[in-house]
Amino acid sequence: MTRMNEPQTLIDKLWSAHEIVRREDGAALLWVDRHYVHEGSFHAFSQPKARGRALAEPGLTFAVADHYVPTRGRDRVIADQEIKAIVDNLTANTSANGIKLFGLGDPRQGIVHVVGPEQGLTTPGLLIVCGDSHTSTHGAFGAYAFGIGASEVAHVLMTQTLWQKKPKRMRITIAGKTGAGIAAKDIALAIIARIGADGAQGHAVEFAGSAITALSMEGRMTLCNMSIEAGGRCGSVAPDATTFAYLKDRPYVPQGAAFERAVEAWSALTSDPAATFDREVALDAETIAPIVTWGTTPDDALPIDGRAPDPARERDPVRAQYVRDALDYMDIAPGKKLTEIAIDRAFIGSCTNARIEDLRAAAAVLAGRVSKVPGLVAPGSSLVKRQAEEEGLDRIFRDAGLEWGEAGCSMCLGLNGDIVSPGERCASTTNRNFRGRQGPGARTHLMSPAMVAAAAVSGHLADVRPLLAGRKV
């Protein structure tokens, strides 16, 4: 237990502000400030119904349609009856329970982890949960945000609380300045490559250091989003002037003098200088190169100028077998130069990298060039889509030969039918290169939006940096 006056980390401060009670075995009952639900939350809604219980605080739950919604032909009725039923089910569940829904057709609809921040529903100091592992995204605002399963979603609906055990605290410090062409995604993949896909398991992570504070909110969201890919319970960045500037005048944040008072309270949400963490990791920003994944977990990540690993050179037999299987699935020869890996498809989208800054970064590479492979751009929200169109980015994507779609999770996990065909290789801005993630037999290479654009115009994995020469980014 943290004693009074003992130096506290950001994570400690966020945790203690939400603790209602703590049992002897260490379980704490936490208050939930914001609860986001989506079409995939249908398992959970059946539980209050079965118990005949009303929702505890329907005004603190917000719903979006994102996981199953079509990215094409929004003006038409959804043809797939199963998918239509799931989307309709969310509408029925939210209206029956008095929950605000950003549904299909709402100009604010989009991916839950884009919409929450965009609407100002996500702010510093909040405890935020959602039945989606990438809820860690919202930690970018100095919130305590994590993904939960359907039973916990049901518990939150019925009680607005959650039983949790306090995780250990980890700080990942990235000092220095990243080079030109390096995105938050590269930082995230560099961290995951360093600590492993389970490196932050059991830990709440705070990202700190000059390379982190230099990031925009979009970049911080990408970073915190990917903390689950390092196994972390949640990721967070201490709120600062960048955070407050992003939030000011957003629809759901306090307005006027109330906003100023909120900023004052939020400004205290930093780790005390003398606070200690259970684990510290440090990376030098200057050493981070553009990174791509070669295998089937996000820690299979290497700088673009590298080569695929060779199982014959792995000392550990278990590791050698893993590398062999992963290369076999990915159809990559051992030791192959990464820049010689030809791609079949490009995807720019997902809760990781479909915000306006991501689309601008991809467009900066694509402008005046043509993609050698088919590709889809699915904006993170309908508002991002509108803004991109106002900026003329949609023209750049279309002129490059890419499809400009509607907002949703789309090809990140293919629930809506946007899948990568069996055996196809996709350069993707998403978060998981798991086997079959983008469709059965699909081969996924994770990278930043600019790197996907570079791969698209090159026809193979490529270093974006030479392609940026002489361009304004």
Partner 1 sequence: MEKFVRLTAKACPFNLPNINTDQILPGRYLKLPRSAGLGAVLFSDLRRDADGRRRPDFPLNQPLWRDARILVAGRNFGGGSSREAAVYALYDAGFRCVIAPSFGDIFAQNAVKNGLLAAVLTEADVSELDSAIAADPELPVTVDLERQTIARGNRSFAFAIDPVSRNQLLNGWDDIDLTDSYRGQIAAFTAADRARRPWARPAQS
In this structure, the number of other CB atoms found within 10 A of the CB of residue 112 comes to 29
Q: Which of residues 30-59 bind partner 1 (CB under 8 A)?
A: 31, 33-34, 40, 43, 51, 59
Find residue 345's DSSP bridge partners: 426
Q: Which of residues 121-150 bind partner 1 (CB under 8 A)?
A: 121, 123, 125-126, 131-133, 146-150
Which of 265/370 has CB closer to partner 1? Answer: 265
Q: Which stretch binds partner 1 (CB under 8 A): 182-190, 195-203, 306-314, 387-395?
A: 195-203
331 binds partner 1 (CB under 8 A): no
Rounded CA-CA distance 374/454 in Å is 13
Q: Which of residues 291-310 bind partner 1 (CB under 8 A)?
A: 296-297
Rounded CA-CA distance 231/349 in Å is 22
Rounded CA-CA distance 194/282 in Å is 10
Which of 143/363 has CB closer to partner 1? Answer: 143
Minimum distance of partner 1 from residue 79's CB (angstroms): 15
What residues have CB less than 8 Å from 204, skipping those under 6 apart?
Answer: 11, 144, 167, 168, 169, 170, 232, 233, 234, 235, 236
120 binds partner 1 (CB under 8 A): yes
Which of 149/368 has CB closer to partner 1? Answer: 149
Q: Which of residues 397-426 bind partner 1 (CB under 8 A)?
A: 413-415, 422
320 binds partner 1 (CB under 8 A): no
* Backbone region of residue 307 per phi and psi (left: phi > 0; alpha: psi in -120 to 50; beta: other values): beta
Minimum distance of partner 1 from residue 55's CB (angstroms): 13
DSSP 103: -
Two tokens, residue 31: 């208050």
Which of 75/82 has CB closer to partner 1? Answer: 82
Two tokens, residue 384: 């991002």
- State the helix-helix crossing angle for 42-51 and 150-159, rounded to 10 degrees: 50
The single residue among 26, 52, 273, 466 that binds partner 1, judged by CB under 8 A, is 26
What residues have CB less than 8 Å from 4, skipping those under 6 apart?
Answer: none
Which of 176/436 has CB closer to partner 1? Answer: 436
Q: Which stretch binds partner 1 (CB under 8 A): 19-27, 172-180, 271-279, 366-374?
A: 19-27
The single residue among 54, 79, 245, 265 that binds partner 1, judged by CB under 8 A, is 265
Minimum distance of partner 1 from residue 164's CB (angstroms): 8
The single residue among 10, 11, 14, 60 that binds partner 1, judged by CB under 8 A, is 60
Rounded CA-CA distance 457/70 in Å is 26
Report strand pairing: 27-31 vs 19-22.
antiparallel
CA neighbor of 464 nearest in space, from 452, 473, 472 = 452
CA neighbor of 334 nearest in space, from 312, 317, 310 = 310
Which of 52/470 has CB closer to partner 1? Answer: 52
289 binds partner 1 (CB under 8 A): no
Minimum distance of partner 1 from residue 2's CB (angstroms): 17
Q: Which stretch binds partner 1 (CB under 8 A): 23-31, 368-376, 393-401, 456-464?
A: 23-31
Rounded CA-CA distance 145/74 in Å is 31
Q: Which of residues 339-398 bind partner 1 (CB under 8 A)?
A: none
107 binds partner 1 (CB under 8 A): no
Q: Measured between alpha carbons, how far is residue 210 from residues 177, 233, 237, 276, 285 in Å?
A: 7, 23, 12, 19, 9
Which of 163/333 has CB closer to partner 1? Answer: 163
Minimum distance of partner 1 from residue 61's CB (angstroms): 11
